[in-house]
Amino acid sequence: MSPADDTAAPQRTAGLAPTFTPVQTEPSRASERKTRPHYVATVTATPEGTASQADVTRRPDADAAAPGTPPPRTPTRTTATIEDATGDVEWTVQRPPEYTDIATATLTRASDGYTLRLRFAAEVPQRQQDDDRTMNVASFFDVTGDGEIDYEIWANLADNGWGPSYRDRRHSEARFMADSDVQVAARGRSLVLRFPLGHLAGARTFQWATASEWGSYETIATAAAARDYAPDTGAAPFPG
C-alpha cells in the first residue's frame, strides 16, 4: 500500500487505542470562596459629652482586582512531554525493529496548530523496509475529560513513505492522506506530525497518549502485532 494513493486508508485498528479514565477535577478553594465586601470602622472625634459616632466605610475586598487591571494572559505556547522506557515493546511472533520503541513524545500547542514529535530508540525509516511489514504510529486525545477518546491522529508506514489520517470520534468522521490536513515527516530518530487546532476542537487542556504497532499485514490489526505505549497505561495530562 502506498500513501501516494489518496483513496487508500492506512492500516489502523481500534484495538490499539489505550483505555482512558475520567479526569477527576476538584473546584479550587478560591473559586468556592465568596467575595464579601470589607468594612472598616472609623471613629470620629466629637465634643466632650457627645456620644462618639462610628463612620463605617466600605472598601473593596482585598482579593478583588483593582479597576483597570488587565486579566491574566493565556500562554500562546504550551507543551507536554511523555517519557517512556525503551526496551518495553510488547511482542509475541517476531522481535520488532528498535525504531518501533517510543522513547519520548512531546506535544506543543501554538497559535498555528499542534506539533507532535515522537522520538524512538533508533532511526525512523523514510519508507517501508519490508514489503510484508508495516507500522502504525497513533495518538489519542480526550478533550472533555470523560474518559472517552474524542480524536485520533495516525501515521502509517508504506512503500514510499508515511501516510497520515485523522479521526473525529465525536462526529464519526475520518479523513485520510491529503484530506486529513496532517503533515508527517521522519527526521532521524523522530517522527513529527503537525495538525491544525481545529483537529482537537482548539482544546487547551486535555489528556492524551501515543502508541506504535508493527507487524505483517496479516497481524497488524491483531494481538500478534508488536506494540508500545507512551505512557505505558492510561493517559497523560496536557499541558504537562
Does residue 33 sit within a domain?
no
pLDDT attached to residue 32: 37
Does residue 222 sit within a domain?
yes
- pLDDT of 112 strictly over 90: yes
Does residue 58 sit within a domain?
no
Q: What is the pLDDT of residues 55-82, one digit of tens each?
A: 434 444 444 455 666 666 666 899 999 9
DSSP bridge pairs for 152: 140, 167
Domain count across the chain: 1
Does residue 45 sit within a domain?
no
Does residue 209 sit within a domain?
yes
**pTM given for the model:** 0.76
Does residue 141 sit within a domain?
yes
Domain of residue 190, residue span: 77-238
Residue identified by cell 479514565 is 21
Q: What is the pLDDT of residues 142-172, one digit of tens each?
A: 999 999 999 999 999 999 899 999 999 999 9
Does residue 95 sit within a domain?
yes
DSSP bridge pairs for 195: 114
Neighbours of 215 (CB within 10 A): 25
Does residue 24 sit within a domain?
no
